[in-house]
Structure 1
């Protein structure tokens, strides 16, 4: 019986050995611990491209630059602050999950979304946590109606609003994270935070000497009101 248990223990250790070796294979002393500015010189360079080129996690870069959303494509001429290397680069926790969305409107406003690089109705709806169909239903004029048609940056698009509903607006100093972190903390959405600061994308110099953390307004505790809900379009 003892021999059998010993063999079982050895077999269990053998199965877990690859995971143990993998977790200790990174030597922190060999990593690049410096931070530096990375210029965007080529059109359509994404934050994911920068992460791959610098051997960093896309979410690590996003939070180091206080980004609204790492999927927004930077413009040529912008610079990103590259954080120190880590043994476990984060490429997941800052991304919005592509889950099934059932809501047809947002709580509390605002009403107009300002488009940025790479936006489509599907991407906007994901940031607002509403159905893509509720966004495309508002398309009109020269605005493409297809859910995956890329929208020109710099235009305002109306967003369906739940009525009655409300949010509390309060000042905030952005000192760490991405908008997904703020949305989860304060009970709102990435899209609504973007709507409150329509021209804000990121801040690459906040953590550099002389830099300042951006001041902004945020929505807190966005909830449904009492009574029958209607959708304002």
Structure 2
């Protein structure tokens, strides 16, 4: 069972997200918060698998809450609930340790897929958010598509296969099943990829995979 903390200061948004999550028997909402400070407190109390955090909340915004959870509860995977107006916050969210970018108005299936992905140790970019994430990162080291492809070219064919599946949001276990590998081998590949490409985490790897065109649309 995937245990989720839901934080949004708008009751109607929380109700809608909660209703979507309730359609998946593998997901349960264990706590709800209407501000970032309460979200951190409840996350430390309940230790959920995933914290779904709205970016714009009172007392402590979702990005600051994500940063605090990365320090105090690193076992809690953070996914950011975003809108198209939140592009300026993307870089900070990446640096703050967010593992997922989910669109409030997106397909409910994307929300469920994102929760499963980050709970399993993967990263997830909602398809309609991915282009904006890439645009926001255009001046960052991940750079343009040509640079991303050049960086990915230093990897072995197997490492590129793994990187593509990281970009698709798959956990190590799912990548192992997809490629008929042992999970420990996949973990080693991911570690090598992050080191060779000078990436800080799986989210940056996922963005590079998208930018390099490795992820099937």
Fold equivalence (TM over 0.5) = no
State the TM-score, normalizing by the size of structure 1.
0.26
Higher helix share: 2
Structure number, greater radius of gyration: 1
Structure with more contact order per residue of length (Cα contacts < 8 Å, sep ≥ 6) = 1
